[in-house]
Amino acid sequence: MVARDRLEQLRGKFGSAIQRVDLPGDSRLFVFVEPSVVKNICQYIFRDLDARYVISIGIDDRPFSGNFMVAHNFAFDEDHLLCSVLTYLPSNNPKIDSISDVVPAANWAEREMRDLVGIEPVGHRYLKRLVLPDGWPEGEHPLRKDFSWDHVPKEFNDEREFTFDEPPEGCTVVPFGPFHPTLDEPAHFRLYVEGEMVRGCEYRGFMAHRGIEKMAESVLGYNDIPMLAERICGICGCVHSVAYVQAVESAVALKPPPRAEYIRTIMLEIERLHSHLLWVGLACHIVGFDTLFMQSFRIREPIMWIAEKISGNRKTYALCVIGGVRWDITPVLKSELRQVLDKLEAEWREVVAAVSKDKNIQKRTVGVGLTNRDLVKNAGLVGPVARAAGVDIDCRRDHPYAAYDRVEFDVITAGGGDVWSRLLVRMSEVFESIRIIRQCLERMDDGPLQSPVDGELPVGRMGLSSVEAPRGESHHFVITGENNRPRRWRVRAPTYQNLQAVPMMIKDQQIADMTISLGSIDPCFSCTDRLETIDLRSGATRVWSQRELLELARAKEVRR
């Protein structure tokens, strides 16, 4: 009944401005409000009701309702409630009051909305291009429905350079990236350095923006998208595919069978194991402790093999379909998985003992990359970064999905807020993951793997899903649509929020600590940049003859 209580609070304060409310269950709340009160209502939810900011979404809804839409999503972690504040904007004047001065974490989301959908956040203090490549002409917004996913505007200018801000007085600029030895992915930082100390930085990223959301909205079907979602990120791919599938399932009220939920849980935890082991290895590599880098990769390898035995692939599991899973965990695999876990646990204890007593690692990480509760709240930090600062949030417990409500585990927190605490949190989470998998293996009953889906999925429903990725909360928002694909799909990867806080974390620190501070959030630029594009162009389907097709294909060849 918490959702109703929250709704009553909102009604009491903004009664007349609330146009419509959808309350699909006790854990989801959609409130449609007038554009003029959006800022106030967000401020009330974020500050007075103390909700956690999740993401803002711009939606081109013109083909359906004739308007643009904006959604601001919030999470009430203690109430197990995800809430979305939606508003319609007129199609000829898509402008909305920026909420970034009351909710600082909305900074990037609003800039992205402006880049991709062309909705202008009025009052935003720093409206610089965020997502699109430098040479992209102004006024072309890829996520609008009248924009084709494979269209590159004629005015696109390959030569144009990004204009960076002026560095502060007395600072030298040190460029960092896009191809840097400690960065696995392209991203560019310009560090403003005074002597050895970093005084600030400017980030130019989104170089791995691949137009994924747009492709999902325009070319793929519901059951193809989990595969695409998996390729948002090579490390936490399964998280995205589960989150997408759950968002669709929650939109159309479909429940996967219990066995499928257990299998999803097991695969998610296997993924967390391999990701945390990888991260600890890389973090040690960054601070120069290469022995441990090698060790943790050696310990990690059997996890990859067992994942391959279950799903057929080491990374991209192709696990989910709408309403269930594809792969089963047979009794043989079960006993093998148990053995792998036993060995892993014993070996990991040794690693943890080695790392926690190592003075060198402590010297490099204690007091480095500091965050505190205020920063966590204002920048919307999630996952181990938030937990290491003493903020007790974990989607597995707060917004239970799959089989997490049927297993017991502890949420690990630490108080330091520095890189060292993050290291401790991640190392301990490995043991919790092992515990969860063991419980799942025990409690898993026989049963079907997929729920039947009858006919077309209903159109125009909204779904939210939060899944705890190894790096933090991965949040997906889906509006179902025609032609067997969603109308809008928005992915909010954990790094999207965590990365925004990196300039604050590295400020007034030694430049040599920059890499480990950045590494400590376990950045995943591909997730962040994913891109966002899903739009559904609903065109009339035409029937083509083979001759026409051949001609078309020829024309394409020539054009290439």
- Interface residues with other proteins (CB under 8 A)? 132-136, 142, 147, 149-152, 156, 158, 178-179, 181, 184-186, 206-212, 214-215, 218-219, 228, 231-235, 237, 278, 281, 293-294, 297-298, 301, 304, 314-316, 483, 524, 526, 529, 531, 533, 537-539, 541-546, 549-550, 552-554, 556-557
CB of 339 to other proteins, least distance (A): 18
Q: Which is nearer to other proteins, 39 or 145 (CB)?
A: 145
User: 277 is written with which tokens?
Assistant: 């082991």
Q: Which is nearer to other proteins, 281 or 486 (CB)?
A: 281
CA–centroid distance for 350 within its chain: 32
CB of 207 to other proteins, least distance (A): 4
Q: Which is nearer to other proteins, 92 or 546 (CB)?
A: 546
CB of 551 to other proteins, least distance (A): 9
- Rounded distance between C-alpha atoms, residue 123 and residue 98, angstroms: 5
Q: Which is nearer to other proteins, 133 or 400 (CB)?
A: 133
Q: Which is nearer to other proteins, 84 or 528 (CB)?
A: 528
Residue 489 sits at the vertex; the CA angle it makes with 210 and 28, to the nearest 5 degrees, is 145
- The sign of the dihedral angle between the CA atoms of 383, 386, 388, 390 is negative
Per the DSSP assignment, residues forming a β-bridge with 71 are 57, 86
User: 510 is written with which tokens?
Assistant: 């030694």
Q: Which is nearer to other proteins, 158 or 169 (CB)?
A: 158
CB of 106 to other proteins, least distance (A): 23
CB of 405 to other proteins, least distance (A): 31
CB of 545 to other proteins, least distance (A): 7
Q: Which is nearer to other proteins, 253 or 294 (CB)?
A: 294
CB atoms within 10 A of CB 87: 22
CB of 216 to other proteins, least distance (A): 11
Picking from 371, 474, 466, the residue whose alpha carbon sits closest to that of residue 425 is: 371
Q: Which is nearer to other proteins, 35 or 135 (CB)?
A: 135
To the nearest 10 degrees (0 to 180), the angle between helices 419-443 and 331-357 is 160
Q: Which is nearer to other proteins, 285 or 397 (CB)?
A: 285
Those residues whose C-beta lies under 8 Å from the C-beta of residue 335, and which sit 6 or more positions away, are none
Per the DSSP assignment, residues forming a β-bridge with 198 are 193, 509
- Rounded distance between C-alpha atoms, residue 385 and residue 471, angstroms: 8
> Could you tell me where the DSSP H helices lie in 171-232?
212-218, 225-230
Alpha carbon of 46 to those of 28, 43, 492: distances in Å?
A: 17, 5, 18
- Rounded distance between C-alpha atoms, residue 24 and residue 247, angstroms: 13
Contact 203, 503 (CB under 8 A): yes
CB of 541 to other proteins, least distance (A): 6
Q: Which is nearer to other proteins, 100 or 218 (CB)?
A: 218
450 DSSP 8-state letter: B
Q: What dihedral angle (degrees, nearest 10) is formed by the CA atoms of 321, 467, 104, 521?
A: -110
Strand order in 52-61's β-sheet? Answer: 18-22, 28-33, 81-90, 67-76, 52-61
CB of 183 to other proteins, least distance (A): 8
| Residue 394 three-state SS | coil
Q: Which is nearer to other proteins, 158 or 454 (CB)?
A: 158
Per the DSSP assignment, residues forming a β-bridge with 57 are 71
Q: Which is nearer to other proteins, 374 or 557 (CB)?
A: 557
Helix (DSSP H) and strand (DSSP E) numbers for the chain? 20, 16
Those residues whose C-beta lies under 8 Å from the C-beta of residue 341, and which sit 6 or more positions away, are 434, 437, 438
Q: Which is nearer to other proteins, 101 or 482 (CB)?
A: 482
CB of 158 to other proteins, least distance (A): 7
CB of 392 to other proteins, least distance (A): 29
The beta-strand segments (E) located in 23-146 are 28-33, 52-61, 67-76, 81-90, 95-97, 120-122
CB of 535 to other proteins, least distance (A): 11
CB of 553 to other proteins, least distance (A): 5
Those residues whose C-beta lies under 8 Å from the C-beta of residue 182, and which sit 6 or more positions away, are 286, 515, 518, 519
Q: Which is nearer to other proteins, 71 or 292 (CB)?
A: 292
- Rounded distance between C-alpha atoms, residue 444 and residue 449, angstroms: 12
> Could you tell me where the DSSP H helices lie in 117-257?
212-218, 225-230, 237-252
CB of 504 to other proteins, least distance (A): 25
CA–centroid distance for 534 within its chain: 15
